[in-house]
Structure 1
């Protein structure tokens, strides 16, 4: 069986879709899976090549829309179409539910008897556009109140005739928990403070206060960034912590695959609702996800596991934002102090 997954963006949405690869392979061990994704997020899928994915097909629809009639765009578009249509598929599954993903699904070639599948309806808090349903041979109705991870898993399961396992497997690996303790350097906790939306951010003074509590437990704070504004915030947090010896490090700006590797080596992650925070979930790291909106039910750590005794990942929500004490208690609930048994 040859399957094409269409999930183009954004980073968090792509992360939420990762478990469908392992779901499909568990149900159909011989399946060959390709995935169309925005080029910026393709490095996240690279680790799955050879152990889940056969091919990652990058596109740049976001960039192409800015100059749709330029010679460079036309050339890149034709190259993308050739690559997309190099194979025939028994199933093309549009997991995005937007016009752009419907276009990609429509362009893909079907094998004899092959079908295109898509969502038949919008789910709460998610975008949805009519063409995804019009292009599909089979439109599948989903529960309106659905977590982003469960929605994609349900769609693929219904399309391909299987019931997904209870716990999602994202397919991303990280070093054993004891690896960092074997080294002399202190364990790191990453602060994912950046977001494309200002209303999702947490105050810098909160990050500094939280960092001081972690430093007192022997942790080193790692500060990633993906823009000049986030770099400035990283330096502001580091400046509040590095009053003597170095207690916080500002990471260099890294490619997505390199940044994922950096997170995988951390003892845990605390972050706002962002793509990097969702990568921490996919890596099964101890993680606290901070919400200024009551939307953790849809995108945060899955509630069936996050509220369980000893859960490694939790979300915190309060208005106008969670307090330092709120986040600290959530951290203590999912991660022991350095040197203690996990």
Structure 2
């Protein structure tokens, strides 16, 4: 069976859709799964060994100059790439006009169908064309986590029962995912915590002074801080945090260079854990099953946050922002649940 998944953006949304691939392969082991995604996010999808072919697009960029010769040429090349295969099922996991257009352009095999969301879910974007284009529009429970929404849509479209376990597929051994897999096998060998402070929205940020104070506590019990960034602006913030932490003797923080997403995933996988704001990179940490604390200034963790049932990954919400104490205690809880942390005395110092 040939299946096309349409999930174009953003990074966090793409990561949230990864379990769909594992679910389909568990139910239909011989399935051939292709995925249409924005070009900038292809490195993350490429880490999943269950995706046979990635079809990149650049709709975000093309919309800025839709009538230019370059856009027309690239759009036609994208359509030709998309239409190489006749699909038995095209599943629009996004629910937006742009994803509906892609789903409509895809070619169906005889008897093939297009599936899409039949309704908006709480806190998520939705546009009517996704329903109009679909052969089958599937209604989903409105109050639902982003991961579960995609999983339920695909299960209903293809007629299988969802497995009870959740698997993002990034831990599967395969040459296709070689670099990340090699790193995953070394999780928690290094006492290094990644601080994911960067986000596309300023109102999701955590105060700089909080990052510094938390870093000092971690340094005091033997953890080094790694500071990734997705832009020059974020890298400058990383440097400010590092400078504050490195003011005393020794290297307590390192600033990573700007990295492509596959290399960034590789580096994250070598860390002992991640503390970060609600962002795509934090969601990668969840997919890697790292000990993780995710910070929320809005009460939306129910929709995008990690599953806290294991205790290894939790969200912390407060307004205007979580306190350093709250994040510190959540981190200690994650370490206890994963048996990854250094022994602590009651005063918080390393035993």
Q: TM-score, normalised by structure 1?
A: 0.94
Deviation digits for residues 244-266 of structure 1 (CA, Å, limit 9, x no counterpart) = 21100000100010001000110
The Cα RMSD (Å) is 1.4
Which whole-Å deviations, capped at 9, do the CAs of 1:134-167 have from their partners, x for residues lacking one? 0000000000001000000000000001111122
Q: For residue 242 of structure 1, what is the aligned residue in structure 2?
A: 246
Match of 1:138 in 2: 136
SS in 1 for 2:47: helix
1:265 aligns with 2:270: yes
Matches within 5 A, 1:20-31: 20-31=20-31
- Does the 8 A contact of 2:242 with 2:253 survive in 1? yes
After superposition, the Cα gap between the structure-2 partners of 1:177 and 1:104, relative to the gap in structure 1 and judged at 3 Å, is closer
Q: Distance in 2 between matches of 1:103 and 1:225?
A: 33
SS of the aligned residue for 2:33 comes to strand
The answer (yes or no) to whether the contact 1:218–1:338 under 8 Å persists in 2 is no
Provide the residue aligned with 2:51 in structure 1: 53
Number of the residue aligned with 2:347: none
Q: 1:53 to 1:177 in 2, by over 3 A?
A: closer
- Asked if 1:87 is matched to 2:85, the reply is yes
Q: What SS class does the counterpart of residue 88 from structure 2 fall into? A: strand
Q: How many residues align?
A: 330
Aligned to 1:223: 227
Maintained 8 Å contact 2:188/2:271: no
8 Å contact from structure 2 (residues 292, 334) kept in 1: yes
Alignment gaps of 5+ in structure 1: none
Q: What SS does the aligned partner of 1:18 have?
A: helix
Q: Which residue in the other structure is 1:78 paired with?
A: 76
Q: Which aligned runs of 4 or more in structure 1 are off by greater than 6 angstroms?
A: none
Q: Is the CA contact 1:219–1:338 (under 8 Å) kept in the aligned structure 2?
A: no
Q: Identify unmatched segments of 5+ residues in structure 2.
A: 172-180, 344-351
Instruction: Tell me: CA distance 1:181–1:263, structure 2 relative to 1, closer, same or farther (3 Å).
Output: closer
Task: Tell me the TM-score normalized by structure 2.
Answer: 0.91
Cα distance in 2 for partners of 1:260, 1:13 equals 16
For residue 167 of structure 1, give the secondary structure of its aligned residue in structure 2: coil
Output one character per residue of 1:277-303: Cα deviation in whole Å (capped at 9) or x when no partner: 00000000000000000000000002x
Report the counterpart of residue 126 of structure 1 in structure 2: 124
